[in-house]
Structure 1
Amino acid sequence: MQIDSSNAQAAAEPEWVNMAYPEQLFSANFPNQPTVSEMPYLSEYGGTFPSTIYQAQEGENHYSVTVVDFSAAKDVYLRMADEVNVSGVHNFWLYDQMGSVAYAAQQFRLRGGDVTYDAWHHVDFIGGHQLFLTNADQTRTYAGIYRHADRLYILEATVAAGTPPQGVFQQSLTILDEEGKRIRYDLQPDHSRVRVAAD
């Protein structure tokens, strides 16, 4: 884990710092040192995958980044093949990853509350989805979901009523390569993309 307190987005909130986690290939802003835990993640097609959860609390406001590791997806579904009597099960490992952003977004909708924003989004032209929700207790949830390679990143900020939008957290996600360098793409409407230099 690396800490960079000079991040431009974090500067708007002096107590926030940008923290990098090279082992999970991302960095993000947090209000303080997050706790790190691991738990299984049940996917849309019934596979169970490891996830790492980074959580921070600031007063009544809660922030988390969940990273789901799909790197063993093919093996997981090969092991399940004998237990699942469904046509096309040999492709579930692919379907699961391709649909993982949409599935995670649906889990937020199913919580209830009033969805006030629900649309495609990106970080450095890595496609994903954003949702804003007003919950029954009038707290607000700001979620961002992105997938790159074999990892799914789920950002969630749930804050007290009247708290400003959480862009300093939600828009801070940076995807890193194996050398810890920022990944950015030139994206085309047909979904083709080429990696470009990032600042």
Structure 2
Amino acid sequence: MELAVIGSGKALSVSDAVFGREFSEDLVHQVVVAFRNAGRSGTKAQLTRSEVRGTTKKFKKQKGGGARHGDYRAPIFIGGGVTFAAKPRSFEQKVNRKMYRAAICAIISELNRQDRLKVVDSFDVSEPKTKALIAKLDEMGIAHPLIVTEEATEALYLAARNLPYVEVRDVQGLDPVALVGARTVIMTADAVKKIEEWLA
């Protein structure tokens, strides 16, 4: 298949396996959840009844005072232990490399089908100025993009970092969460070829 390159009038020949793959919602969901879970620290910790500091002395007699209680470390009291206390754990989910690459292909293919994937010859700014990047995006008529280049320059990173709706990635830093969350994806022709080599 071919992708139109904006501003050049040329077409870029790409693989159907990467840019024309059928979308699998279950696969994409599984990979996105696994990717986000891998970023969780899993360090949440609470104290159980046996771990709370304090006396274990029975604070009132067994009968005659209403409800029967042992000590103030019981979960129903303020400062007491937690009934099912959270403990540090790993949220990691196993995802095969083949599944991960297939999910990336499916997301890129769906972006292409929805006309949300834009290919340009190159994308850069001459100086690290946010105003220059905004003018460039306005000229293209694109808002809230994910910009993917083969190797993003420092000037482009600095120009985009103050815009909450613009994200810059190189091919090595591309991930499924960034692709799924983008309204529009701008890719350079070199980045397209590098992605094709990676996923083919």
Classify the TM-score, shorter chain: under 0.3
* TM-score, scaled relative to structure 2: 0.22
Structure number with the higher strand fraction is 1
* TM-score, scaled relative to structure 1: 0.22
